[in-house]
Amino acid sequence: MRSPATHAPLAALLALVGALVLLIAPAPDATAAASPAPTSPASGCALAGATGWTDEGHDTDRIRFQQPLGTKRVLTLFVDFPDAPADGPTTPYTAQLTPAADWMWQASYGRTWLAITPLDRWLRMPQASTAYGFQRGISFEQHEAYVRDAVRAAAPYADFSRYDLVYVVPPRTASAITFTPTYVYDPATAGVTVAGTRIKWAVTFGQDMWYWGPKIADHETGHTFGLPDLYAFTGSEQHRYVGGWDVMGRIGGPAPQYVGWETWKLGWIDDGQVACLPSPGWTTVQLTAVEYVGGTKIAVIRTGDTTAYVVESRRAAYTDRYPCSTGVLVYRVDTSVQTGYGPVRVVNGNPADTPPTGCTPLDLAAFHPGQSFTDWSARVQVSVRSGGPYGDTVQISSW
Protein backbone atom coordinates (compact mmCIF):
# COMPACT_ATOMS: atom_id res chain seq x y z
CA MET A 1 0.00 0.00 0.00
CA ARG A 2 1.27 3.46 -0.86
CA SER A 3 0.01 6.45 1.06
CA PRO A 4 -2.09 8.94 -0.94
CA ALA A 5 0.15 11.64 -2.35
CA THR A 6 -2.12 14.32 -0.93
CA HIS A 7 -1.81 12.93 2.58
CA ALA A 8 1.83 11.95 3.09
CA PRO A 9 4.50 13.08 0.60
CA LEU A 10 7.41 10.69 0.48
CA ALA A 11 10.50 11.85 2.30
CA ALA A 12 13.99 11.46 0.92
CA LEU A 13 15.59 8.08 1.52
CA LEU A 14 17.80 7.97 4.60
CA ALA A 15 20.97 6.03 3.82
CA LEU A 16 22.22 3.48 6.30
CA VAL A 17 25.55 4.19 7.86
CA GLY A 18 28.26 1.76 6.91
CA ALA A 19 27.99 -1.44 8.90
CA LEU A 20 30.67 -4.09 9.16
CA VAL A 21 30.25 -7.82 9.74
CA LEU A 22 33.18 -9.11 11.77
CA LEU A 23 34.38 -12.30 13.30
CA ILE A 24 33.41 -12.50 16.94
CA ALA A 25 35.30 -10.08 19.19
CA PRO A 26 34.79 -8.78 22.73
CA ALA A 27 32.18 -6.03 22.92
CA PRO A 28 34.03 -2.75 23.56
CA ASP A 29 32.25 -2.06 26.84
CA ALA A 30 32.43 -5.69 27.94
CA THR A 31 36.19 -5.44 28.40
CA ALA A 32 35.90 -2.30 30.54
CA ALA A 33 32.85 -2.99 32.68
CA ALA A 34 32.97 -5.35 35.62
CA SER A 35 29.38 -6.49 35.12
CA PRO A 36 26.68 -6.07 32.49
CA ALA A 37 24.24 -3.21 32.69
CA PRO A 38 20.68 -4.17 33.56
CA THR A 39 18.24 -3.68 30.72
CA SER A 40 15.94 -0.69 31.03
CA PRO A 41 12.14 -0.64 30.78
CA ALA A 42 11.03 -1.27 27.23
CA SER A 43 9.60 2.24 26.98
CA GLY A 44 13.17 3.52 26.75
CA CYS A 45 13.46 1.86 23.33
CA ALA A 46 9.99 2.63 21.93
CA LEU A 47 10.46 5.05 19.04
CA ALA A 48 7.95 7.65 17.92
CA GLY A 49 6.81 7.67 14.31
CA ALA A 50 7.84 10.66 12.23
CA THR A 51 6.11 10.25 8.86
CA GLY A 52 2.45 11.00 9.51
CA TRP A 53 1.42 7.77 7.81
CA THR A 54 2.28 4.08 8.09
CA ASP A 55 5.68 3.72 9.75
CA GLU A 56 7.49 1.67 12.39
CA GLY A 57 6.80 4.09 15.25
CA HIS A 58 4.96 2.95 18.34
CA ASP A 59 2.58 5.91 18.51
CA THR A 60 0.21 4.68 15.79
CA ASP A 61 -2.83 6.86 15.16
CA ARG A 62 -5.67 4.59 16.29
CA ILE A 63 -8.26 6.89 14.76
CA ARG A 64 -6.82 6.49 11.27
CA PHE A 65 -5.66 2.87 11.69
CA GLN A 66 -7.59 0.06 13.35
CA GLN A 67 -6.67 -1.60 16.64
CA PRO A 68 -4.79 -4.84 15.86
CA LEU A 69 -5.96 -6.82 18.90
CA GLY A 70 -8.94 -9.12 19.32
CA THR A 71 -11.41 -10.31 16.72
CA LYS A 72 -11.52 -8.33 13.51
CA ARG A 73 -14.90 -8.85 11.83
CA VAL A 74 -14.33 -9.00 8.06
CA LEU A 75 -17.06 -8.96 5.42
CA THR A 76 -15.99 -10.30 2.03
CA LEU A 77 -17.79 -8.89 -1.01
CA PHE A 78 -17.55 -10.51 -4.44
CA VAL A 79 -17.94 -8.03 -7.30
CA ASP A 80 -18.12 -8.50 -11.04
CA PHE A 81 -18.42 -6.05 -13.92
CA PRO A 82 -20.37 -5.51 -17.15
CA ASP A 83 -17.19 -6.29 -19.11
CA ALA A 84 -16.00 -9.05 -16.76
CA PRO A 85 -18.88 -11.14 -15.44
CA ALA A 86 -18.40 -13.78 -12.75
CA ASP A 87 -16.85 -17.02 -13.95
CA GLY A 88 -18.47 -19.38 -11.43
CA PRO A 89 -19.40 -19.66 -7.74
CA THR A 90 -17.72 -17.62 -5.03
CA THR A 91 -16.52 -20.72 -3.16
CA PRO A 92 -13.00 -20.91 -4.71
CA TYR A 93 -12.42 -17.24 -3.92
CA THR A 94 -13.40 -17.74 -0.30
CA ALA A 95 -11.11 -20.76 -0.08
CA GLN A 96 -8.21 -18.72 -1.47
CA LEU A 97 -8.38 -16.09 1.30
CA THR A 98 -9.72 -17.69 4.49
CA PRO A 99 -6.42 -19.44 5.45
CA ALA A 100 -5.14 -15.91 6.18
CA ALA A 101 -7.09 -16.04 9.44
CA ASP A 102 -5.17 -19.03 10.81
CA TRP A 103 -1.86 -17.57 9.69
CA MET A 104 -2.48 -14.27 11.50
CA TRP A 105 -3.69 -16.14 14.59
CA GLN A 106 -0.32 -17.92 14.72
CA ALA A 107 1.68 -14.79 13.87
CA SER A 108 -0.05 -12.82 16.65
CA TYR A 109 0.33 -15.58 19.27
CA GLY A 110 -3.45 -15.85 19.38
CA ARG A 111 -4.04 -12.15 19.98
CA THR A 112 -5.70 -11.32 16.64
CA TRP A 113 -8.32 -13.29 14.76
CA LEU A 114 -9.81 -12.48 11.36
CA ALA A 115 -13.45 -13.57 11.48
CA ILE A 116 -14.05 -13.64 7.74
CA THR A 117 -17.70 -13.74 6.64
CA PRO A 118 -18.34 -14.08 2.89
CA LEU A 119 -21.42 -12.49 1.31
CA ASP A 120 -21.96 -15.48 -0.93
CA ARG A 121 -23.18 -13.79 -4.10
CA TRP A 122 -21.80 -11.79 -6.98
CA LEU A 123 -22.51 -8.07 -6.91
CA ARG A 124 -22.56 -6.17 -10.18
CA MET A 125 -20.44 -2.99 -10.20
CA PRO A 126 -21.91 -0.02 -12.12
CA GLN A 127 -18.84 0.57 -14.29
CA ALA A 128 -16.60 -1.57 -16.46
CA SER A 129 -13.55 -3.03 -14.76
CA THR A 130 -11.35 -0.88 -16.99
CA ALA A 131 -12.98 2.32 -15.72
CA TYR A 132 -11.62 2.19 -12.16
CA GLY A 133 -8.05 3.14 -12.95
CA PHE A 134 -6.33 0.13 -11.40
CA GLN A 135 -2.63 0.56 -11.93
CA ARG A 136 0.26 1.26 -9.60
CA GLY A 137 -0.50 4.96 -9.80
CA ILE A 138 -4.16 4.65 -8.77
CA SER A 139 -5.21 7.72 -6.79
CA PHE A 140 -6.82 7.74 -3.38
CA GLU A 141 -9.99 9.21 -4.92
CA GLN A 142 -10.19 6.52 -7.62
CA HIS A 143 -9.72 3.80 -5.04
CA GLU A 144 -12.33 5.29 -2.73
CA ALA A 145 -14.81 5.39 -5.62
CA TYR A 146 -14.25 1.67 -6.23
CA VAL A 147 -14.88 0.88 -2.54
CA ARG A 148 -17.99 3.09 -2.58
CA ASP A 149 -19.47 1.29 -5.59
CA ALA A 150 -18.78 -2.12 -4.00
CA VAL A 151 -20.43 -1.36 -0.66
CA ARG A 152 -23.40 0.33 -2.32
CA ALA A 153 -23.95 -2.79 -4.40
CA ALA A 154 -23.88 -4.85 -1.19
CA ALA A 155 -26.05 -2.50 0.89
CA PRO A 156 -29.34 -4.35 0.31
CA TYR A 157 -27.79 -7.60 1.54
CA ALA A 158 -25.46 -6.68 4.43
CA ASP A 159 -25.44 -4.75 7.70
CA PHE A 160 -22.07 -3.00 7.60
CA SER A 161 -22.36 -1.88 11.22
CA ARG A 162 -21.51 -5.45 12.21
CA TYR A 163 -18.06 -5.38 10.58
CA ASP A 164 -14.67 -3.74 11.12
CA LEU A 165 -13.14 -4.36 7.72
CA VAL A 166 -14.30 -5.07 4.17
CA TYR A 167 -12.59 -7.30 1.62
CA VAL A 168 -13.57 -6.75 -2.03
CA VAL A 169 -12.82 -9.63 -4.43
CA PRO A 170 -13.18 -9.52 -8.27
CA PRO A 171 -13.56 -12.53 -10.57
CA ARG A 172 -10.57 -13.90 -12.41
CA THR A 173 -12.12 -12.58 -15.60
CA ALA A 174 -11.48 -9.00 -14.41
CA SER A 175 -7.92 -8.75 -15.69
CA ALA A 176 -7.97 -4.96 -15.39
CA ILE A 177 -8.15 -5.25 -11.59
CA THR A 178 -4.49 -6.13 -11.43
CA PHE A 179 -3.16 -5.61 -7.90
CA THR A 180 -4.28 -5.38 -4.28
CA PRO A 181 -4.24 -2.00 -2.52
CA THR A 182 -5.59 -1.15 0.93
CA TYR A 183 -8.11 1.60 1.58
CA VAL A 184 -7.63 3.60 4.80
CA TYR A 185 -10.17 6.33 5.26
CA ASP A 186 -9.48 10.02 5.73
CA PRO A 187 -11.44 11.22 8.79
CA ALA A 188 -11.33 14.79 7.46
CA THR A 189 -13.48 13.92 4.41
CA ALA A 190 -17.01 12.62 3.82
CA GLY A 191 -15.59 9.29 2.68
CA VAL A 192 -17.76 6.23 2.15
CA THR A 193 -20.91 5.79 4.24
CA VAL A 194 -23.64 3.16 3.90
CA ALA A 195 -26.80 3.17 6.04
CA GLY A 196 -25.11 5.47 8.54
CA THR A 197 -21.94 3.36 8.90
CA ARG A 198 -18.59 4.83 7.87
CA ILE A 199 -16.40 2.40 5.93
CA LYS A 200 -12.98 2.99 7.41
CA TRP A 201 -10.88 0.09 6.13
CA ALA A 202 -11.05 -2.10 3.05
CA VAL A 203 -8.75 -4.37 1.07
CA THR A 204 -9.56 -4.56 -2.63
CA PHE A 205 -7.99 -7.67 -4.08
CA GLY A 206 -6.63 -7.96 -7.59
CA GLN A 207 -5.42 -10.78 -9.78
CA ASP A 208 -2.18 -10.93 -7.76
CA MET A 209 -4.12 -12.74 -5.00
CA TRP A 210 -3.75 -15.86 -7.13
CA TYR A 211 0.03 -15.41 -7.23
CA TRP A 212 0.66 -14.50 -3.58
CA GLY A 213 -1.97 -16.70 -1.98
CA PRO A 214 -3.74 -16.14 1.35
CA LYS A 215 -0.89 -14.19 2.98
CA ILE A 216 -1.69 -11.23 0.73
CA ALA A 217 -4.65 -10.68 3.08
CA ASP A 218 -2.27 -10.69 6.07
CA HIS A 219 -0.01 -8.17 4.33
CA GLU A 220 -2.82 -5.81 3.37
CA THR A 221 -4.64 -6.13 6.68
CA GLY A 222 -1.32 -5.19 8.29
CA HIS A 223 -1.64 -1.83 6.55
CA THR A 224 -4.99 -1.22 8.24
CA PHE A 225 -3.11 -1.76 11.52
CA GLY A 226 -0.59 0.94 10.53
CA LEU A 227 2.30 -1.15 9.19
CA PRO A 228 4.38 0.17 6.25
CA ASP A 229 5.55 -1.66 3.16
CA LEU A 230 9.03 -3.12 3.64
CA TYR A 231 9.73 -3.77 -0.03
CA ALA A 232 11.27 -1.03 -2.16
CA PHE A 233 9.11 1.33 -4.22
CA THR A 234 12.04 2.25 -6.46
CA GLY A 235 15.08 0.55 -7.96
CA SER A 236 15.68 -2.76 -9.68
CA GLU A 237 15.88 -4.94 -6.55
CA GLN A 238 12.45 -4.73 -4.96
CA HIS A 239 13.31 -6.79 -1.89
CA ARG A 240 16.70 -5.33 -1.01
CA TYR A 241 15.66 -4.11 2.45
CA VAL A 242 14.30 -7.21 4.26
CA GLY A 243 14.31 -9.96 1.64
CA GLY A 244 11.83 -12.67 2.61
CA TRP A 245 11.97 -12.02 6.37
CA ASP A 246 8.61 -10.26 6.80
CA VAL A 247 5.22 -10.56 5.12
CA MET A 248 5.19 -6.76 4.82
CA GLY A 249 8.16 -7.22 2.48
CA ARG A 250 8.08 -10.24 0.18
CA ILE A 251 4.67 -11.80 0.81
CA GLY A 252 5.76 -15.17 -0.52
CA GLY A 253 9.12 -15.10 1.25
CA PRO A 254 10.54 -18.15 3.02
CA ALA A 255 10.30 -16.61 6.52
CA PRO A 256 7.27 -14.28 6.43
CA GLN A 257 6.58 -13.90 10.17
CA TYR A 258 6.28 -10.21 11.08
CA VAL A 259 9.59 -9.10 12.59
CA GLY A 260 9.63 -8.85 16.37
CA TRP A 261 9.70 -5.05 16.34
CA GLU A 262 6.34 -5.07 14.56
CA THR A 263 4.81 -7.65 16.89
CA TRP A 264 5.75 -5.31 19.75
CA LYS A 265 4.27 -2.31 17.92
CA LEU A 266 1.05 -4.25 17.34
CA GLY A 267 0.76 -5.34 20.98
CA TRP A 268 1.29 -9.01 20.19
CA ILE A 269 4.22 -9.17 22.61
CA ASP A 270 4.40 -7.31 25.91
CA ASP A 271 6.97 -4.81 27.17
CA GLY A 272 8.31 -7.53 29.47
CA GLN A 273 9.38 -9.50 26.38
CA VAL A 274 11.64 -6.68 25.18
CA ALA A 275 15.25 -6.25 26.38
CA CYS A 276 16.12 -2.57 26.01
CA LEU A 277 19.56 -0.95 25.94
CA PRO A 278 18.85 2.79 25.55
CA SER A 279 22.29 4.09 26.51
CA PRO A 280 25.94 2.95 26.56
CA GLY A 281 26.55 -0.37 28.25
CA TRP A 282 26.32 -4.06 27.53
CA THR A 283 24.19 -7.00 28.52
CA THR A 284 23.52 -10.62 27.64
CA VAL A 285 20.04 -11.61 26.47
CA GLN A 286 18.52 -15.06 26.03
CA LEU A 287 16.09 -14.79 23.12
CA THR A 288 13.20 -17.13 22.40
CA ALA A 289 12.59 -17.43 18.67
CA VAL A 290 9.82 -15.16 17.42
CA GLU A 291 7.93 -18.13 15.99
CA TYR A 292 7.26 -19.49 19.50
CA VAL A 293 5.00 -18.14 22.24
CA GLY A 294 6.63 -16.63 25.34
CA GLY A 295 10.11 -15.61 26.37
CA THR A 296 12.14 -12.54 25.51
CA LYS A 297 11.45 -11.82 21.86
CA ILE A 298 13.68 -8.89 20.91
CA ALA A 299 16.74 -7.04 22.16
CA VAL A 300 16.76 -3.37 21.19
CA ILE A 301 19.77 -1.04 21.11
CA ARG A 302 18.53 2.51 20.79
CA THR A 303 20.77 4.71 18.64
CA GLY A 304 18.75 7.91 18.26
CA ASP A 305 15.36 9.59 18.46
CA THR A 306 14.03 7.53 15.55
CA THR A 307 16.61 4.77 15.16
CA ALA A 308 17.52 1.48 16.80
CA TYR A 309 19.08 -1.87 16.09
CA VAL A 310 16.85 -4.86 16.84
CA VAL A 311 18.02 -8.41 17.47
CA GLU A 312 15.77 -11.47 17.37
CA SER A 313 15.98 -15.24 16.97
CA ARG A 314 14.41 -17.08 14.01
CA ARG A 315 13.64 -20.78 13.68
CA ALA A 316 11.91 -23.10 11.20
CA ALA A 317 8.48 -23.37 12.83
CA TYR A 318 4.82 -22.35 12.47
CA THR A 319 4.64 -19.22 10.28
CA ASP A 320 8.27 -19.73 9.18
CA ARG A 321 8.27 -23.35 8.11
CA TYR A 322 10.84 -23.12 5.32
CA PRO A 323 13.39 -20.37 6.07
CA CYS A 324 16.55 -20.22 4.01
CA SER A 325 18.57 -19.66 7.19
CA THR A 326 17.96 -19.73 10.93
CA GLY A 327 19.72 -18.00 13.79
CA VAL A 328 19.93 -14.39 14.89
CA LEU A 329 18.39 -11.69 12.73
CA VAL A 330 19.79 -8.17 13.12
CA TYR A 331 18.06 -5.21 11.54
CA ARG A 332 17.98 -1.45 11.76
CA VAL A 333 14.72 0.41 12.33
CA ASP A 334 14.24 4.05 11.39
CA THR A 335 10.80 5.43 12.16
CA SER A 336 11.45 8.59 10.14
CA VAL A 337 11.69 6.62 6.87
CA GLN A 338 8.58 6.47 4.69
CA THR A 339 6.83 3.28 3.67
CA GLY A 340 8.57 1.67 0.71
CA TYR A 341 11.91 3.35 1.38
CA GLY A 342 13.46 1.03 3.96
CA PRO A 343 12.09 1.74 7.47
CA VAL A 344 13.46 -1.72 8.36
CA ARG A 345 16.77 -2.95 6.92
CA VAL A 346 18.12 -6.42 7.61
CA VAL A 347 21.88 -6.86 8.08
CA ASN A 348 23.28 -9.76 6.04
CA GLY A 349 25.43 -11.86 8.34
CA ASN A 350 26.64 -14.11 5.52
CA PRO A 351 27.13 -11.95 2.42
CA ALA A 352 29.63 -14.36 0.86
CA ASP A 353 27.26 -17.34 0.93
CA THR A 354 25.63 -18.50 -2.29
CA PRO A 355 21.86 -18.82 -1.92
CA PRO A 356 20.22 -22.04 -3.05
CA THR A 357 17.35 -22.05 -5.53
CA GLY A 358 14.37 -20.14 -4.19
CA CYS A 359 16.44 -18.03 -1.81
CA THR A 360 18.07 -14.63 -2.17
CA PRO A 361 21.36 -13.52 -0.57
CA LEU A 362 19.46 -11.56 2.11
CA ASP A 363 17.43 -14.67 2.99
CA LEU A 364 20.73 -16.12 4.32
CA ALA A 365 21.18 -13.17 6.69
CA ALA A 366 20.83 -14.97 10.04
CA PHE A 367 23.94 -14.85 12.25
CA HIS A 368 25.21 -18.01 13.95
CA PRO A 369 27.12 -18.68 17.21
CA GLY A 370 30.63 -17.28 16.88
CA GLN A 371 29.60 -14.43 14.59
CA SER A 372 29.14 -10.77 15.46
CA PHE A 373 28.07 -7.52 13.88
CA THR A 374 29.56 -4.07 14.52
CA ASP A 375 28.37 -0.68 13.35
CA TRP A 376 31.26 1.58 14.33
CA SER A 377 29.41 4.75 13.36
CA ALA A 378 26.44 3.93 15.58
CA ARG A 379 28.75 2.43 18.26
CA VAL A 380 26.83 -0.84 18.39
CA GLN A 381 27.91 -4.46 18.54
CA VAL A 382 25.91 -7.69 18.58
CA SER A 383 27.63 -11.01 19.30
CA VAL A 384 25.95 -14.42 19.08
CA ARG A 385 27.15 -16.48 22.04
CA SER A 386 25.16 -19.69 21.64
CA GLY A 387 22.10 -21.21 20.03
CA GLY A 388 19.61 -23.95 20.75
CA PRO A 389 16.46 -25.46 19.26
CA TYR A 390 14.20 -22.66 20.51
CA GLY A 391 16.38 -19.58 20.54
CA ASP A 392 19.76 -17.91 20.89
CA THR A 393 21.84 -16.10 23.48
CA VAL A 394 23.32 -12.79 22.36
CA GLN A 395 25.47 -10.05 23.85
CA ILE A 396 24.49 -6.53 22.87
CA SER A 397 26.55 -3.45 23.56
CA SER A 398 26.84 0.25 22.77
CA TRP A 399 29.53 2.73 23.70
pLDDT digit string, tens, across residues 47-58? 999 999 999 999
Q: Verify that 273 and 315 share a domain, yes or no.
A: yes
Quick check: is 195 in a domain?
yes
Predicted confidence at residue 12, as pLDDT, reads 36
pLDDT digits (tens, 9 = 90+) for 281-293: 999 999 999 999 9
pLDDT of residue 135: 77
Residues 337 and 389 in one domain: yes
Q: Which residues pair with 183 in a beta bridge?
A: 202
Same structural domain for residues 247 and 382?
yes
Provide the phi-psi class of 207: left if phi over 0, else alpha when psi is between -120 and 50, else beta.
Answer: alpha
For residue 8, tell me if it sits in a domain. no
Is 206 found in the same domain as 127? yes
Examine residue 191 and state whether it is found in any structural domain, yes or no.
Answer: yes
110 — phi, psi (to 5°)? 80, 15
Number of domains in the chain: 2
- 103 and 220 inside one domain: yes
Domain ends where: 224, 250, 283? 224
Residues 370 and 271 in one domain: yes
Give the residue from 224, 254, 281 where a domain finishes: 224
Does one domain contain both 52 and 74?
no
Q: Is residue 32 part of a domain?
A: yes
Does residue 28 sit in the same domain as residue 87? no
Asked if 53 and 117 sit in the same domain, the reply is: no
* 6 domain-assigned: no
Question: 336 lies in which domain range?
Answer: 20-60+239-398
Low-confidence ranges of the chain (pLDDT < 50): 3-34
Residue 238 CB partners (closer than 8 Å, separation 6+): 231, 232, 250
Please report whether residue 2 resides in a domain: no
Whether residues 257 and 360 share a domain: the answer is yes
- Name, in order, each residue with C-beta under 8 angstroms of 131's C-beta and a sequence gap of 6 or more: none
Same domain assignment for residues 246 and 393: yes
**Are 152 and 50 within one domain?**
no
